[in-house]
Amino acid sequence: MVKKLTALSLAFSMGVLTACGSNGTNVSTGNTNSGAKAEGAESASSNKTVIKYWYAYGEKIEEAKLHMVKEFNESQDKIEVIAEHQGDYEDLHAKVQAAFAAGDAPAVTDLEIASTGVFARSGMLEELTAYAEKDKDQLQLEDFNAGLMGNAYVDDKLFGLPFMRSTPILYKNVTMLKDAGLDPEGPKTWDELEQYSRVLKEKGKVGMTVPVDIWFYEALVAQSGGQMLSEDGKTAAFNTPEGVAPVEFWKKLSSEGLIKMPVGDEAGATADKDWANQMSAFKFGSTAGVTGSLEIAKGNGFELETAFMPANVSYGVPTGGCQLVMTSKSSDEEKEAAWEFIKWMTSKENTIYQHKHVGYLPTRQSAVESEELKAHFKENPQFKVAVDQLEYARPRPMENAYPEVAKIIKESIQKAILDPKTSPQDALNQGAEKANKLLSK
Amino acid sequence: MTVWEKLRPYGMVAPAIIIFSLFFIYPIFYMIYLSMFDWNFVSPVKTYVGFQNFKDLLMEPDFRQVLSNTTIYMVLTVTLTTVIALLLALWLNRKSYFYGFVQGAIFTPHIISLVSISLLWSWLMDPEYGLLNWVIGLAGFDKLQWLSHPSTSLISLVMVAVWKGLGYNTLVFIAGLQSIPTDIYEAASLDRSKPWRTFTKLILPMLSPTLFFLVIINMIGSFQVFETIAIMTQGGPVNSTNTLVYYIYEYGFRFFKIGYASAAGVILLIIVGILTMIYFKMLSNRVHYR
């Protein structure tokens, strides 16, 4: 009890301290964070509209976001945007939700695309249709890549604009392939991936380390010609033969030791490490990792190529990443400011910038066709793959229950892979039964 | 008595009462209220569903697994921590620089943030690159999957909890041992009592209030385990490390089902409440030798 009270009073005094800070007592501490706050406070006094923008992820992604925010603030004198880091997408979503309930939501936030549905339907998001109509000449909505707009609309209403968008791609260690006498152009199909992995296994390596990840699974289902959910979103479709095929493929390859499938929380990190340490020749990963992976390849002295994810009956990938959305409870003035900011962040120039800096997709057709990116692709073909692959891209499911369904699917796949007695079909059937209960509500 | 004198005590306790009601009492009642609704935290519509959330919870096989995970985790953590801490305390209960140093060393995990500890152990337990598997490999045994397999994940988390809690428990046991009057020991040695007999008939009864305090505190603490799970396993693989508090968090803040999460919260409240009541009941009866 005493402990709790002390912690509480500590929290209080900290609250008071921060409150002082943001009221503009303006002590320059050299710390970037308080610096940003002080700036905000100054601008408040000169009648600028101050809005908050919450974003996810650090490193290169954060660098790019903060750079664009800074440029925006310097480009005009009416709006001041204060950018605040909130962890990964899940942390961000939880915090936006809590802040919204408390009436203190940021005016603009990143939003992972599959969550657009649940956020929009619960009234947290401002519909952008009218804004887009008003500024249609400047915005050029049709300039955005059509493959990226699927998650921007909920029930035919526009709620977000594509910002840092991605697809999963195949990263290849070409040096390893050449050493093993394999054609560095492949593997283009699942069968080829299996053959390549057999050869690599003989060399004491594995073809690939794959975490059990819902996004990659969505990709393999697409490659098999299947769907995650039925057309109306009321029932599961992942227990069809097209949904079972990826799990059987994974189970077969991992039980023969051709690929490795770690299942823990660190699985994603393990896959990246295996690839970086040249234990595996391939990894699946978001386009957001191109710049970072190129640096790793260069540092570890191997050649990196990117490619489409291998096809089963066809190529296919889900899109991913985040869009920018506006929350619904801000004042009209803040909403206008938020709209200006969203337009700026999704402009042709900025989508080119973030693509080159991080590796996320250039979201606009005009950006892809620009001289700047044409020259960039020529020099760095690794960046172009994801853009080309967009032809085969599809949106992610946006049903309210999908986050929970995704967890169920992940557990079913883990079970099928870990337990030799559970067949992929049985595991997914059980998962589908649970999912149907949630989806039919 | 003036009015002021009458009011003064109330004025003095008011800040504590207000904070307590606002941050402890109000949330509890609000949670009980929310457990009767189907709500996503932000939508203007709350749908009253009565006890449906509780029915759903108890019918849900995953929730039953969560309860059994939590119980297994608690029993293992409490037993191992208490037994090892007691043995260490018996060994360390003497004065010299060496024993002081060992005491200090096993106490340090207690003052490190649990988040750092979780990150550190995730790294130690990494199946491919971790230090533990490297040592196991050197010793010639098969590598363990640690957190990455349902058969070992929960026990791995227990290991971390025991490692973290050991120092504090040992320290409290040593304090308990030192509060036993020395003349009783002297009387026992004059009677030529054997060490085992001294332990069971003398030390253990004298130590029972301390022992009981630690067991209850550890039980309540284990029921509330969250940080290690959020950081090291997120409840997986295959739900094998999902415990009550993490389950509540998951449904409240990831799946936006506040009513359902609140119902699970009420169940946690009941369990912890019962444990606390047992503790106070026993405390008033003075657990002691008779």
CB contact under 8 A, A270 and B128: yes
Signed CA dihedral, A423, A429, A434, A435: sign only: positive
State whether residue A265 sits within 8 Å of chain B by CB.
yes
Measuring CA to CA, which residue among A82, A99, A130 is closest to residue A334?
A: A82
For the question of whether the overall pTM of this predicted structure is more than 0.95, the answer is no
Ranges of H-type helices in A46-183: 59-75, 89-101, 116-121, 129-134, 136-139, 174-179
First vs last Cα of chain A: how many Å apart? 42
Query: For B87-126, what is each residue's pLDDT tens digit?
Result: 999 998 888 889 889 888 989 999 999 999 999 998 898 8
CB contact under 8 A, A122 and B147: no
Nearest to A262 among B40, B43, B148 (CB): B148
Residue listed under structure tokens 């500590």: A10
Q: How many domains does chain B have?
A: 1
Measured distance CA(B244)–CA(A1) in Å, rounded? 22
Using DSSP's 3-state secondary structure scheme, residue A237 falls into: coil
Q: What token pair was written down for B223? A: 């029921």
Residue listed under structure tokens 């499911």: A397
CB contact under 8 A, B237 and A97: no
Task: List chain A residues with CB under 8 Å of B149.
Answer: 263-264, 418
Distance from CA of A274 to the nearest CA of B (A): 9
Query: Is pLDDT of B24 > 70?
Result: yes
Measured distance CA(B221)–CA(B205) in Å, rounded? 24
Phi and psi, residue A157, nearest 5°: -110, 140
Nearest residue of chain A to residue B251 (CA atoms): A404
CB contact under 8 A, A414 and B238: yes
| Beta bridge pairs of residue A364 | A144
* Higher-pLDDT residue of B43, A240: A240
Portion 77-116 of A in contact with B at CB < 8 A: 90, 93-94, 97-98, 100-101
pLDDT at position A23 = 37
Nearest to B19 among A8, A403, A407 (CB): A8
Strand positions, DSSP E, B125-207: none
| All domains of chain A in start order, with CATH | 50-165+320-378 (3.40.190.10), 168-318+401-439 (3.40.190.10)
Cα B154 to chain center, whole Å?
Answer: 15
Task: List chain A residues with CB under 8 Å of B16.
Answer: 5
Task: List chain A residues with CB under 8 Å of B126.
Answer: 266, 270
Query: For B237-260, what is each residue's pLDDT tens digit?
Result: 888 999 999 999 999 888 888 999
Pairing status of strand A49-55 against strand A317-318: unpaired
Q: What token pair was written down for A127? A: 């519909």
Mention every residue, 6+ apart, whose C-beta is less than 8 A from residue A378: none
> How would residue B286 be classed by pLDDT, with cut points 50, 70 and 90?
low
pLDDT at position B290 = 42
User: Beta-carbon neighbour count of residue B110 at 10 Å?
Assistant: 14
pLDDT tens digits for chain A (441 residues)? 444 444 444 444 444 334 433 333 333 333 444 444 444 444 445 688 899 999 999 888 899 999 999 999 999 888 999 999 998 888 899 899 889 988 889 999 999 998 898 889 888 899 999 898 888 888 888 889 888 888 899 888 999 999 999 999 999 998 988 888 888 888 889 999 999 989 888 888 888 999 998 999 999 999 999 899 988 888 999 999 999 999 999 999 988 888 888 877 778 888 888 888 888 999 999 988 888 888 888 888 888 889 999 999 999 999 999 999 999 988 989 999 999 999 999 998 899 999 888 889 899 988 888 888 888 888 888 888 888 888 898 889 988 888 889 999 999 999 999 888 889 999 999 999 999 988 887
First vs last Cα of chain B: how many Å apart? 47
Using DSSP's 3-state secondary structure scheme, residue B140 falls into: coil
State whether residue A124 sits within 8 Å of chain B by CB.
yes
CA distances, A124 to each of A293, A338, B257 (Å):
36, 15, 15
Measuring CA to CA, which residue among B160, B159, B158, B73 is closest to residue B118?
A: B160
What is the residue type of B153? Answer: S
Mention every residue, 6+ apart, whose C-beta is less than 8 A from residue B236: A263, A264, A265, A410, A411, A414, B153, B242
Is B20 part of any domain? Answer: no
User: Beta-carbon neighbour count of residue B51 at 10 Å?
Assistant: 12
* CATH value at residue B246: 1.10.3720.10
Query: Number of CB pairs < 8 Å for A and B?
Result: 83
Distance from CA of A136 to the nearest CA of B (A): 31
pLDDT at position A181 = 86
Cα A77 to chain center, whole Å?
Answer: 32
Nearest to B150 among A265, A266, A418 (CB): A418
- For residues A356 and A112, is the Cβ–Cβ distance under 8 A? no
Best mutation target, A266, A273, A408, to test chain B (most B CBs within 10 A)? A266
Q: H or E element: which one contains A79?
A: strand A79-85
CB contact under 8 A, A101 and B153: no
Is B83 part of any domain? Answer: yes
In this structure, what DSSP letter does residue A30 have? S
Is B29 part of any domain? Answer: no
Mean per-residue pLDDT, B187-202: 85
User: Beta-carbon neighbour count of residue A36 at 10 Å?
Assistant: 17
B100 lies in which domain range? 54-284
ipTM: 0.80
Angle at Cα B229 formed by Cα B224 and Cα B232, nearest 5°? Answer: 155
Pairing status of strand A320-326 against strand A393-394: unpaired
- Buried b / exposed e along B202-233 (16+ C-beta atoms within 10 A): bbeebbbbbbbbbbbbbbbebbebeebbbbbb
Is B47 part of any domain? Answer: no
Phi and psi, residue B167, nearest 5°: -60, -50
Nearest to B43 among A123, A264, A273 (CB): A123
Residue listed under structure tokens 């290169």: A60
State whether residue B256 sits within 8 Å of chain A by CB.
yes
State whether residue B15 sits within 8 Å of chain A by CB.
no
Measured distance CA(A244)–CA(A250) in Å, rounded? 10
* Higher-pLDDT residue of B278, A222: A222
pLDDT at position B288 = 54
- For residues A319 and A399, is the Cβ–Cβ distance under 8 A? no
Measured distance CA(B266)–CA(B34) in Å, rounded? 10
Portion 39-58 of B in contact with A at CB < 8 A: 40-44
User: Beta-carbon neighbour count of residue B21 at 10 Å?
Assistant: 12
- For residues A319 and A395, is the Cβ–Cβ distance under 8 A? yes
- For residues A318 and A393, is the Cβ–Cβ distance under 8 A? yes
Distance from CA of B274 to the nearest CA of A (A): 18
| Beta bridge pairs of residue A414 | none
In this structure, what DSSP letter does residue A46 have? T
CA distances, B5 to each of B10, B17, B18 (Å):
10, 19, 21
- Buried b / exposed e along B258-274 (16+ C-beta atoms within 10 A): bbbbbbbbbbbeebeee
Measured distance CA(B210)–CA(A206) in Å, rounded? 54
Measured distance CA(A427)–CA(A409) in Å, rounded? 9
Measuring CA to CA, which residue among A184, A417, A394 is closest to residue A281?
A: A184
Using DSSP's 3-state secondary structure scheme, residue A169 falls into: strand
Is B212 part of any domain? Answer: yes
Nearest residue of chain A to residue B151 (CA atoms): A418
Burial grade of B174 (CB within 10 A; 0-12, 13-18, 19 or more): buried
Measuring CA to CA, which residue among A119, A35, A298 is closest to residue B42?
A: A119
Mention every residue, 6+ apart, whose C-beta is less than 8 A from residue A121: A154, A155, A400
